[in-house]
Structure 1
Amino acid sequence: MRSQCPQEVTNTSWQIMDLLCFPIENEERNLKFTDRIFASIDQKSIMLMREYDNLANCIHQKQQSKCNQCYQKQTKMIKLQQQQEAKLDQQKAIRNLSQQQGKKVDKRRLAPIKNASHEQFPQRQQRIQQIQKPKVNEHRS
């Protein structure tokens, strides 16, 4: 505790203690002296209290800044972890979707072409008919 207090305050405190032990025979002078001593004790105690408060505040601020840094690091780690989990979930969803689409495509490919009716592919059938029909203008000219 002594190392935390400044040297001046410690020396002054000892001087005050020495003065308190010094007897004075004149009562009026003794009262004035006592008043001065107590006034200086009050001043020193106020200084010590302020110093103690400042010391506690400094320690608290240092601890608070360390806590804030730890909290920020934890928050960053949690956000990164959530982002990674979201990416993994997204990749899984894409894989599942592509697998489902692949299965759908495979099912379509497995359907035999011979059994496919013209109704399933009307545009293709119309195109074939247009190609097979001769144009009216071509034969007359």
Structure 2
Amino acid sequence: MKNDFPSVNLVIFGGEEAPLVAKELAASNIPLILSENQPSPDTFRSKDTAIGPPLTRYVASYLSEAGVKYGLSVAENSFIGSFRIHDLGPEAGWTAKFAHHDENEAIRLITSNIETILGLAPSRDLVVFEGNPL
């Protein structure tokens, strides 16, 4: 689709099965907002997912290896995702660990990468944490 409509800003949201097409996403320069970094293959539709350690690698590690531009989200399909917003920092930390990113890249996964993917102007917000939020 991206080849047929190159001017369209196509963004994938979810990414449960993104490892299966990670190389194609990178080659087509299609970014992804990953909300399923640790999916559960609980239905036939999601049986091919990479469920993460210790059985498979994290979904994000496949994306990083392929060169896909991505950010992290906490949205849920079955419930309102906002109840998990407090998990975003630790999720970025786990992602950084298993996708071999440094702390700066972990922060970018939940901040500037999302802004870039959505075509938003950079924000100048400041958040102060006591200790490391990852």
Higher relative contact order (CA 8 A, sep 6+): 2
User: Larger Cα Rg: Structure 1 or Structure 2?
Assistant: 1
Point out the structure with the larger strand share.
Answer: 2
Give me the TM-score of the superposition, normalised by structure 1.
0.18
Give me the TM-score of the superposition, normalised by structure 2.
0.18
Point out the structure with the larger helix share.
Answer: 1
